[in-house]
Chain A
Amino acid sequence: MCENFKNIATLNDVVPGQIAVIKELRTSGSMRRRLLDIGLVQDTHVECLGRSPGGDPTAFLIRGAVIAIRSEDCANIIIQPKEMHNNDTL
Chain B
Amino acid sequence: MTRSSYSDTVKTIALTGNPNVGKSTVFNSLTGLNQHTGNWPGKTVITAQGYCSTDKQSYRIIDLPGTYSLLAHSAEEEVARNYICFGDADVIVVVCDATCLERNLNLVLQVLEITSQVIICVNLLDEAKRKGIRLDLALLSKRLGVPVVGTVARKKKSLVTLLKFLDEITATPSAFSSSDNNPAKYTVSTIQYPQPIEDAIAIIAPFVQNLLRDFHNKNSIPINCRWLSLQLLDPDPSLTTEINNYFGNSFLQHEELQTALFLAHKQLSEQGIDRNCFKDMIVSALVKKAELICTDAVIYDNHPYSNFDRGLDRLLTSKLTGYPVMLLLLTGIFWLTITGANIPSGLLASGLFQIQDYLTAFFQYIHAPAWLHGLLVLGGYRVLAWVVSVMLPPMAIFFPLFTLLEDMGYLPRIAYNLDQPFKRCGACGKQALCMCMGFGCNAAGVIGCRIIDSPRERLLAILTNNFVPCNGRFPTLIAILTMFFVGTAGGFLSSIRFALLLTLVIIIGVATTFAVTRLLSRSLLRGIPSSFILELPSYRRPQFGKVILRSIFDRTIFVLGRAMIVAIPAGLLIWIMANVTIENVSILNRFAALLDPFARLMGLDGVILIAFILGFPANKIVIPIVIMTYMAQGSIMELDSLTQIKELFVSNGWTWATAVSTMLFCLFHWPCSTTLLTIKKETGSLKWTALAAGIPTLFGIFVCILFTTLVKDLGYLML
Interface residues of A (CB under 8 A from B): 25, 28, 30-39, 41-42, 44, 47, 49-57, 59, 61-70, 72-73, 87, 90
Contacts and interface: CB of A to CB of B under 8 A. Distances in A.
Contacts of A65: 100, 103, 535
List 3 A-B pairs, minimum CB-CB distance, nearest first.
A54-B420, A53-B322, A64-B100
B682 interface: no
Nearest to B314: A50
A53 B534 contact: no
Nearest to A32: B276
Contacts of B712: none
A72 B534 contact: no
Contacts of B99: 64
A30 B313 contact: no
Given A32-B279, A65-B100, 16 more contacts: A31-B530, A34-B68, A34-B531, A49-B305, A52-B416, A54-B417, A54-B420, A54-B421, A57-B419, A57-B429, A64-B99, A64-B101, A66-B535, A66-B537, A66-B538, A72-B531
A33 B282 CA distance: 11
Given A54-B421, A56-B420, A68 B283 contact: no
11 contacts: A33-B69, A34-B68, A36-B283, A39-B290, A53-B317, A53-B417, A56-B419, A57-B420, A66-B535, A68-B429, A70-B529
B313 A59 contact: yes
Counting chain B CB atoms within 10 Å of each CB, which of A51, A66, A73 scores highest?
A66
A36 B280 contact: yes
Nearest to A58: B416
A44 B283 CA distance: 13
Interface string B94-106: 0000011111001
B717 interface: no
Given A53-B322, A63-B102, A35 B420 contact: no
Contacts of A52: 317, 322, 416-417, 419-420
A59 B537 CA distance: 11
Contact of B73 (A34, A63, A68): A34
Counting chain A CB atoms within 10 Å of each CB, which of B69, B102, B531, B534 scores highest?
B531
B532 A70 contact: yes
A30 B535 contact: no
A43 B563 CA distance: 56
A52 B280 CA distance: 30
Nearest to A30: B73
B532 A33 contact: no
B535 A70 contact: no
A63 B100 CA distance: 7
Contacts of A33: 69, 71, 73, 279, 283
Nearest to B326: A53
A45 to B, nearest CB: 11
B598 interface: no
A69 B103 contact: no
Interface in B638-691: none
Contacts of A53: 317-319, 322-323, 417, 420
B288 interface: yes
A35 B322 contact: no
A28 B274 CA distance: 12
Contacts of B303: 87, 90
B100 A57 contact: no
Contacts of B313: 49-50, 59
Given A37-B106, A52-B420, A70-B419, A57 B532 contact: yes
Given A52-B417, A61-B304, A38 B533 contact: yes
A56 B665 CA distance: 35
A63 B304 CA distance: 9
B161 interface: no
Contacts of B305: 47, 49, 61, 66
B87 to A, nearest CB: 21
Nearest to B317: A52
Given A39-B103, A68-B416, A73 B536 contact: no
Nearest to A59: B536
Contacts of B529: 70, 72
Given A63-B100, A65-B103, A34 B533 contact: yes
A50 B429 CA distance: 17
Contacts of A61: 304-305
Contacts of A37: 68-69, 71, 106, 283
Nearest to B100: A64
Contact of B532 (A47, A64, A73): A73
Contacts of B421: 54
A9 to B, nearest CB: 20
Nearest to A52: B416
A56 B628 CA distance: 51
B126 interface: no
Contacts of B416: 52, 57, 59, 68
Given A36-B283, A37-B68, A59-B313, A30 B100 contact: no
B113 interface: no
Nearest to A64: B100
B134 interface: no
B154 interface: no
Interface in B291-340: 300, 303-305, 309-310, 313-314, 317-319, 322-323
Interface string B262-282: 000000000000001001100
A66 B533 CA distance: 10
